Amino acid sequence: MCLTNPHSIAGNHAPRALATSIPSYPLLGALQAGTLWNHNEEIPISFMPRSGTESTDQQRKKTKMLFEEIFRHTNLSLLWLNDGDGIVRIAFNDETLSQSQVRTKCRDVSQNKWTINLKSIMPDNDCPSPNERHTINHECMHLLAFVHEHQVPEWPSHFSFNRHKVIKAYGGDESKGGIPHWQIESNIMTPYTPEKLENYSPFDRKSVLLYQFSGDVMQNGLGTPFNPDLSDIDKAVLVLNYPRLNPGPLVPRWTVSYAADVIGIKGESREKIVAATHPHDVRRLYSEWSKRSQRFQQGEVIEA
Ligand SMILES: [Zn+2]
């Protein structure tokens, strides 16, 4: 999982499933420089006014609950404002795809428009379904500047798209659930270069930022799982990139030390990260370890 983020696309289920979480334009969040929130920042956030888009109390409740659960693992907080206020604004528009702007992009969107759209969030149930959890959690991670797991630079050796089949399965007229070719490239098949990323962990098949791909579009026929919730590695990278001096009271297990263990950081690197007392230092040391670790895997250095 890298700092900076549907379902089987086989058969007749493809368009509907894809539409729940594939954004309609690039989400350049990968812990890219300049997209991160400041440490300990309070993020002004709201829902779009009910007059402009459909929005029920149940939709709002589910979204707020899952956003808050994610933010517990960070040193950030959410400041919920009146409808339409703040720099992050959430809509529930089923006419367009789910998507989320990262911090810097949020500031470029005019105040009367949403910055996050959550599609297919049912208006009348309090408890989020697995599909709803996937959509809300996935887009919240984009908000925090994380990119798709299937676009990290270091795919495992067996993870390789059959490009022709991906385009055939996902492409087509957007009004009918299809995705334009350039968006398929930017959101699915084009990996980030390491220079674009602040850091990234080893490939995580359980990440909420990994799409569920049918084996039909992979060269070896092996698909990826549907992940409605954050994996332990998702949570660990939240902790290491937005570290708190003490873990959130509702997630006491998630210390920096525990997060480092989940990622697999050992030795002197782990000691330095755990001993760091400022969030900048924790993130910097983790990023340094991340880059050294990738070079280690490529045989360029002896010890990660
Ligand atoms: Zn996404």
d(CA 143, CA 241): 14
Residue-wise pLDDT tens digits, 237-260: 999 999 998 999 999 999 999 999
Asked if pLDDT for residue 26 goes beyond 50, the answer is no
Given a cut of 50, is residue 289 above it in pLDDT? yes
Q: Which residues contact 175 (CB under 8 A, 6 or more apart)?
A: none
- Ligand 1 centroid–CA 5 distance in Å is 6
Confidence band, pLDDT 50/70/90 cuts, at residue 130: very high
Q: What is the mean pLDDT of residues 119-138?
A: 95
H-helix or E-strand spanning residue 163: helix 163-170
pLDDT in tens, 134-159: 999 999 999 998 989 988 887 777 67
- How far is ligand 1, taken at its centre, from the CA of residue 211, in Å? 8
Contacts of 271 (CB under 8 A, 6+ apart): none
pLDDT of residue 33 exceeding 60, the answer is no
Query: Distance between terminal CA atoms of the chain?
Result: 17
Q: How many angstroms separate the CA atoms of 99 and 292, rounded?
A: 32
Architecture of domain 2-297: 3-Layer(aba) Sandwich (3.40)
- For residue 97, what pLDDT is reported? 80
State the distance from the centre of ligand 1 to the C-alpha of 23, rounded, in angstroms.
6
- Residue 49, pLDDT > 60, answer yes
Residue 17: pLDDT over 70: no
Taking all residues of the chain, what is their mean pLDDT, rounded to a whole number? 83
Please name the residues in contact with 157: beta carbons below 8 A apart, sequence gap of 6 or more. Answer: none
Rank 91-105, 114-128, 169-183, 193-207 by mean pLDDT and report only the highest. 114-128
**Whole-angstrom Cα distance, residue 70 to residue 181?**
32
Tens digits of residue pLDDT in 183-229:
888 888 888 888 888 888 888 999 999 999 999 999 888 899 999 99
> Would you kindly state where each structural domain of the chain is located, as residue ranges?
2-297
pLDDT of residue 15: 23
Listed residues: CB within 5 A of ion ligand 1: 5
Q: Is the pLDDT of residue 16 over 70?
A: no
pLDDT at 189: 87
What is the percent of the chain with per-residue pLDDT over 90, rounded to a whole number?
Answer: 53
> Residue 247 C-alpha to ligand 1 middle, in angstroms?
27
d(CA 184, ligand 1 centre) in Å: 12
Centre of ligand 1 to C-alpha 139, Å, is 6
Distance of alpha carbon 62 from alpha carbon 107, whole angstroms: 25
Report the candidate in 234, 225, 34 with the shortest Cα–Cα distance to residue 152: 234
Q: How far is the CA of 272 from the centre of ligand 1 (A)?
A: 33
Q: Report which DSSP code applies to 53.
A: S
pLDDT for the residue numbered 95: 82
State the Rg of the chain over Cα: 19
Confidence of residue 268 (pLDDT cuts 50, 70, 90): very high
CA of 137 to the centre of ligand 1 (A): 10
CA of 268 to the centre of ligand 1 (A): 35
Closest CA to 15 of 130, 131, 173: 173
